[in-house]
Amino acid sequence: MAIQPSAADTSATLLPRHLARTLQRLAEGFPVVAITGPRQSGKTTLARQLFAELAYVSLEDPIERAFAEDDPRGFLARFQAGAVFDEAQRWPDLFSHLQLLVDQERQAGRFVLTGSQQFNLMAGVSQSLAGRVGLARLLPLALAERPATDLQAWSSDDAILRGGYPELLKPALRPQDWFSAYVATYLERDVRQLVRVQDLSRFQRFLRLCAGRTGQLLNLSNLATETGISQSTASNWLAVLEASDVVFRLPPYFENFGKRLVKTPKLYLVDSGLACWLLGIHTPESLALHPLRGALFETLIVGEVLKARLNQGLAPELYFWRDNHGLEVDLLLATDNRLQPIEVKSGQTITRDLLKAACRAPSAITAPWQTPWLVYGGNENQTRHAVEVISWQHIGARLNPGCAS
């Protein structure tokens, strides 16, 4: 009883989602595969495309959910051969029922779950499906998953403004219109379901203040004060946004706890386009002059590295490094028992000072590290002064040689 994607999904159906390889691997080893990630990142389209032989049911559908709650055995009897259960957290009892089914017949790749609320989904998975489920996270589109014509035609400012949500591939859809509906329809609804938000305007302010701090050290006390809420409320709201893959906390790298190192995480929005909308930036011209342009470019690149790790089924293992003397590495990627230092600069011109900085900062780290990367806003890859200079357009291919550039 396979159900093919609808005509509305046609543009997204053609996207080469790199997570597909990880999902196929997980489906060969686990009876249940769970895909989490923010709303509208393409989870449903990918699941239905990749597992087209399985029946599909959305638990957002009140009729299906009522059937499941009133007669769980009758509901699940339709799916003995397996199914894709979309927004699985909407029926919490599903997880215990699936445990019984997969224990009776442990067939690999039998059930696929998707969910946009990681708190609820992971609670059900950890309680009932531990050891039976392969977990994956799908974030919005990476640059290398986009049509090649986009990257050839765009400047880095265009890429920052568009972000990665698949719906924005539609040329007639203006990002500011879509993000406005997205925040009102999905983010605010999800937050109201998970925490009590009595004053929605304060939550909207909190979101915008988070966007204004993307790429900066997280100061939760200051964030709470400017929003007009308690620090514990700010902590709860931030946890919900992080679990919903709206924000990402980049931890500092502690090489030696005795050294005078910055020990506060940095805050990033996962999607640079959403960050721009929240900041009221709607055109490349306004972005080019905005004081946060550098931070937004850094947000784009950090998001690319995060997506590459998750798409390969790996833990992020991303850090930054900064000491009290001003030495800093924007991003450290732990790989092959070595650290990959990554400097991020939005300018299109590579200066001698930038190259020196890219070499000097990681040399203060005694752990083994590889040739530093300098990711910049230009279009040409180079190797200069023991630094690998990488265009923003090619970072996806550099992080994952198997993907298109």
pLDDT tens-digit readout, 163-208: 999 999 888 888 889 999 999 887 777 777 677 776 778 888 999 9
Mean pLDDT, residues 79-85? 95
**Highest mean pLDDT (candidates 121-130, 218-227, 382-391, 393-402):** 218-227
Most confident range, picked from 12-16, 23-27, 395-399? 23-27
Angstrom distance (rounded) from CA 146 to CA 404: 9
Least Cα distance to 351 among 341, 343, 339 occurs for: 343
Let me know if 353 is exposed, middle or buried by CB neighbors in 10 A (0-12, 13-18, 19+): exposed
Average pLDDT value for residue range 43-67: 96
Distances (CA, A) of 354 to 231, 323, 340: 38, 18, 17
Q: Quickly list H helices, 186-230.
A: 188-194, 200-212, 220-227
Q: What's the pLDDT at 5?
A: 34
Distance CA 304, CA 311 (A): 10
363 neighbors 352 (Cβ within 8 angstroms): no
Q: Is the pTM here over 0.85, yes or no?
A: yes
Residue 166's identity, in one-letter code, is P
Using CA atoms, how far apart are residues 132 and 29, in angstroms rounded to an integer?
9
With beta carbons less than 8 A apart as the criterion, state whether 248 and 220 touch. Answer: no
Question: Do 27 and 84 contact (CB within 8 A), yes or no?
Answer: no
Beta bridge partners of 345: 376
Rg of the chain on CA atoms, in Å:
22
Residues in Cβ contact with 361 at an 8 Å cutoff, skipping those fewer than 6 apart = 321, 327, 328, 329, 341, 343
What is the rounded distance in angstroms from the CA atom of residue 228 to the CA atom of residue 152? Answer: 44
Residue percentage of the chain with pLDDT more than 70:
92
CA distance 256 to 258: 5
CATH class of the domain whose range is 7-137:
alpha beta
Per-residue pLDDT, 119: 66
Could you tell me the CA-to-CA distances from 313 to 12, 85, 308 in Å, in that order? 21, 21, 9
Q: Which residues contact 193 (CB under 8 A, 6 or more apart)?
A: 117
Query: Do residues 46 and 19 touch, judged by C-beta distance below 8 A?
Result: yes
User: Which range has highest mean pLDDT (119-123, 194-198, 369-373)?
Assistant: 369-373
Taking Cα atoms as reference points, which of 57, 61, 134, 124 lies closest to residue 93? 124
b/e code 168-179 from CB counts within 10 Å (16+ = b): bbeeeeebeebb
Q: How confident is the model at residue 322 (pLDDT cuts 50, 70, 90)?
A: confident
pLDDT at 7 over 50: no
Tell me the pLDDT of the chain averaged across its residues.
88
Give 80: exposed, middle or buried? Use CB within 10 Å, 0-12, 13-18, 19+: exposed
Q: Domain-by-domain residue ranges, the chain? A: 7-137, 143-399
Distance CA 146, CA 400 (A): 15
* Cα→Cα distances 343→74, 121, 148, 276, 287, Å: 56, 35, 25, 22, 21
